[in-house]
Amino acid sequence: MNNIDIESIVKSVIINMQSDKVSTNNTLNGVFDKMEDAIDASIEAQKVVRQLPLEFREKIIDNIRKKTIQHAEKFAELGVKETGMGRIGDKVLKHKLVAEKTPGTEDIKTVAWSGDRGLTLVEQGPFGVIGAITPSTNPSETVICNTIGMIAGGNTVVFNPHPGAIGVSNYAVNLVNEASVEVGGPNNIAVSVAKPTLETADIMFKHKNIQLLVATGGPGVVTAVLSSGRRAIGAGAGNPPVVVDETADIRKAAYDIYNGATFDNNLPCIAEKEVIVVAEVADELIYYMQEAGSYMITGDEIDRLAKTVLVNKNGKLVINRDYVGKDASYILSAIGINVDDNTRCIIFEADGDHPLVVEELMMPILGIVRVEDVDKAIDLAVSLEHGNRHSAHMHSKNVDNLTKYGQRIDTAIFVKNAPSYAALGFGGEGYCTFTIASRTGEGLTSASSFTKNRRCVMAESLCIR
Ligand code: NAD
């Protein structure tokens, strides 16, 4: 198919779409007042996208990448301002990463068998219209990452973004649509609503034309999509432990852990959330973590921190959302300790059952647990990961220890001798995603995760060997 053919298909379907009357939110492309209208617009846009050759989808994706890089600073500023979480510089890097390393159509693969009985192909086709829930912790990054992967697979996507990050999420929805329209593609490749709620999510979950649900967020939302009766991809919570054994390069381990745990103030779900260290190297690790920029608290300070960042909800300790993604200096000032912004991490020693170690805090706070040996470290790490099977990290030069831990913890991500963000292709090999489907097993999602396999058989012919 040549360019003229492609453009005429796109134009004819766009003209048909324009005759449909829906109530759009006038200021942003793809943002609707009602979820029903958003879904209708997505259904129409999908009719165009599914006919687009891969080459044309890639043209749209290229422009999304370009515009995301151009707007990276704006996204970072908007995100921090609206959610009150994270660090602008790190969010700029996250947007560049998502633009540069999220796989596009190259991820869509065909498998073929040819032989005496002909030619059989398995091709990856679109689900159609996908419903996606996005978090407040990486809001626009997830919208952009999901859109690239989903339209690479020939789908369109309806978002019900986190209400606490609606401005920046819908800014991203607008940007991906502008990117499509600018290169001659359809509007509404991604849609959203102006005021997302649990009710709008429910309309999406139950709509007969939504073929796949993708939830990125905490346990509540993942359970909700998995209970919907629809096919669903669940990218849920983690509590990644990092284990340090006596064979590690301890100074490097300390700096890597510090850098991973403080990136965007510990908002990424993959970030180091607690440290378990073999006793003989614990003092050295703590020394270097302080050298890197951590502030060590002890005794009564630890109790005050726990009372500040955890709250009692119906008899259960849960995180105080006021401190999620905040700077270490801000959190320390709340317990009467004043430091400057060069201090990016709060560390303390505790037992493995301390609530600040057990809970997924998403704050630049690291409890350090000393244990006798690597086997005890692995046992504790498995227990603190809570069976999420999400992410785990280790610093060691002993291949047997690394192998043992990797097998026992059984997580979607296992980073060795590097900061956790190496798992997202930042200083490590491989592609980027902000939807890590630990619960449902896809692992790091990409375009092919959003496709279904279709077998295409030609019997007795087309084998030309
Ligand atoms: P959250 O769970 O508070 O919210 C996520 C989204 O789900 C929001 O849009 C929220 O409105 C919606 N939601 C919550 N309960 C729902 C329900 N019952 N039905 C429909 N929608 C519902 O998450 P958050 O605080 O923004 O993000 C942090 C959590 O997400 C952490 O636990 C983190 O580990 C996890 N996370 C996981 C990944 C991953 O790829 N696995 C990525 C980012 C964040």
Q: What is the pLDDT of residue 18?
A: 41
Bridge-based pairing state of the strands 190-193 and 210-216: unpaired
User: Domains of the chain (ranges plus CATH)?
Assistant: 3-236+443-459 (3.40.605.10), 241-429 (3.40.309.10)
What percentage of residues in the chain have a pLDDT greater than 90? 92
- C-beta of residue 41 within 8 angstroms of C-beta of residue 7: no
Q: What is the mean pLDDT of residues 393-419?
A: 98
Assess whether the C-beta atom of 266 lies below 6 angstroms from ligand 1: no
pTM assigned to the model: 0.94
Q: What is the pLDDT of residue 16?
A: 44
pLDDT digits (tens, 9 = 90+) for 355-388: 999 999 999 999 999 999 999 999 999 999 999 9
pLDDT digits (tens, 9 = 90+) for 43-57: 999 999 999 999 999
pLDDT digits (tens, 9 = 90+) for 122-169: 999 999 999 999 999 999 999 999 999 999 999 999 999 999 999 999
pLDDT digits (tens, 9 = 90+) for 290-329: 999 999 999 999 999 999 999 999 999 999 999 999 999 9
Q: Measured between alpha carbons, how far is 433 from 446 in angstroms, rounded to an integer?
A: 7
Assess whether the C-beta atom of 137 lies below 6 angstroms from ligand 1: yes
Assess whether the C-beta atom of 200 lies below 6 angstroms from ligand 1: no
Residue 21 pLDDT > 50, yes or no? Answer: no
Q: Which of 17-21, 256-260, 369-373, 400-404 comes out lowest in average pLDDT?
A: 17-21
Token digits of residue 97: 């990463």
Residue reference for tokens 């003209």: 15
Token digits of residue 107: 């991820």
Q: What is the pLDDT of residue 464?
A: 79
Give the residue ranges of DSSP H helices in 53-164.
Answer: 54-70, 72-83, 88-101, 139-152
8 falls in which pLDDT band (50, 70, 90)? low
Instruction: Kindly give the distance from the C-alpha atom of residue 104 to the centroid of ligand 1, in angstroms, as a whole number.
Output: 25
Give the residue ranges of DSSP H helices in 183-209.
Answer: 198-206
Instruction: Kindly give the distance from the C-alpha atom of residue 343 to the centroid of ligand 1, in angstroms, as a whole number.
Output: 28
Q: What is the pLDDT of residue 10?
A: 54
